[in-house]
């Protein structure tokens, strides 16, 4: 019996640990493909085009959007982000699980188009811890940090749209919970084609 491939969506406030957890999941689960989003935001130090994001101009982004090349797209913190649909479909056809680390706007779009996806919301243990993590990251100027923090309560209000919530208070524990969710989802009856003779 073939194990079904999953589309897994991770969302949560900036600084909740989505990126770190995504990298760890991909390391530990060989058949998990982490989708690379396109963005119009500037490249941060150490980021690699085609690995962290596809860094494109706003004009290129709008052309792709007009052609329907995104599974989802959103404007977040004054920049556009989108998931190229072609790679996602290609990986699912190959039987690989696909991980999307995307914002809430995008996740809700995916949910409308792909109701069998697994939607997981990552939350920090507290708002204070979230702010500490964003500041410690050292990648954003103060005005960006303020903007991100002002959006947190609104972002948390969408938690009921998700199938699961994982509190990232301990990285190893949060990772184990994510792996358990994926394992359990693969065992759900509606995902199985069972043939008993």
pLDDT tens digits, residue range 68-102? 999 999 888 789 999 999 999 999 999 999 999 99
Q: What pLDDT does 150 receive?
A: 67
In a domain, 54, yes or no: yes
Provide, rounded to the nearest whole percent, the portion of the chain with pLDDT above 90.
Answer: 57
Q: Is residue 71 part of a domain?
A: yes
CB 2 within 8 A of CB 95: yes
Residue 197 pLDDT greater than 60, yes or no? no
Query: Does 84 reside within a domain?
Result: yes
Q: What is the CATH number of the domain that holds 61?
A: 3.40.50.300
- Structural domain contains residue 196: no
18 lies in some domain: yes
| DSSP letter string, 167-191 | E-SSHHHHHHHHHHHHHHHHT-GGG
pLDDT of residue 155: 84
Question: Which stretches of the chain are assigned E, i.e. beta strand?
Answer: 7-11, 32-34, 38-39, 54-55, 70-76, 79-84, 97-101, 118-123, 164-167
Give mean pLDDT, residues 13-33: 90
Per-residue confidence (pLDDT) for residue 185, from 0 to 100: 94
Confidence band (pLDDT; 50, 70, 90) for 2? low
pLDDT in tens, 178-193: 999 999 999 888 787 6
Averaged pLDDT score across all residues of the chain: 88
Residue 27: its pLDDT value, please?
94
Determine the pLDDT at residue 115.
Answer: 84
For the whole model, what pTM was predicted?
Answer: 0.84
Tell me how many domains the chain contains. 1
Instruction: Give a yes or no: residue 168 inside a domain.
Output: yes
Query: Residue 57's domain spans which residues?
Result: 7-191
Classify residue 197: in a domain, yes or no: no
Q: Report whether 84 contacts 39 (CB < 8 A).
A: no
Q: 54 with 37: CB under 8 angstroms? A: yes
Angstrom distances, CA of residue 90 to CA of 14, 23, 55, 95, 141:
29, 21, 21, 9, 37
pLDDT, tens digit (0-9, with 9 covering 90-100), for 141-173: 777 666 767 677 788 889 999 999 999 999 999
Distances (CA, A) of 154 to 43, 50, 103, 190: 27, 31, 12, 33
């Amino acid at each position: 019996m073939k194990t079904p491939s999953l589309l897994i969506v991770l969302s949560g406030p900036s600084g909740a640990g989505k990126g770190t957890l995504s990298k760890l999941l991909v390391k530990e689960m060989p058949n998990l493909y982490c989708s690379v989003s396109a963005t119009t935001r500037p490249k941060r130090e150490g980021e690699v085009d085609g690995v962290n994001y596809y860094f494109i101009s706003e004009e290129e982004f709008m052309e792709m959007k007009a052609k329907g090349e995104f599974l989802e797209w959103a404007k977040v913190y004054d920049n556009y982000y989108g998931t190229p649909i072609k790679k996602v479909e290609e990986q699912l056809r190959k039987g690989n699980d696909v991980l999307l680390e995307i914002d809430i706007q995008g996740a809700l779009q995916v949910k409308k188009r792909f109701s069998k996806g697994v939607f997981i919301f990552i939350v920090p243990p507290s708002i204070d811890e979230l702010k500490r993590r964003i500041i410690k990251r050292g990648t954003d100027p103060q005005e960006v940090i303020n903007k991100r923090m002002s959006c947190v309560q609104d972002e948390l209000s969408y938690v009921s749209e998700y199938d699961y919530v994982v509190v990232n208070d301990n990285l190893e524990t949060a990772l184990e919970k994510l792996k358990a969710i994926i394992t359990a989802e693969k065992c759900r009856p509606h995902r199985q084609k069972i043939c008993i003779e």
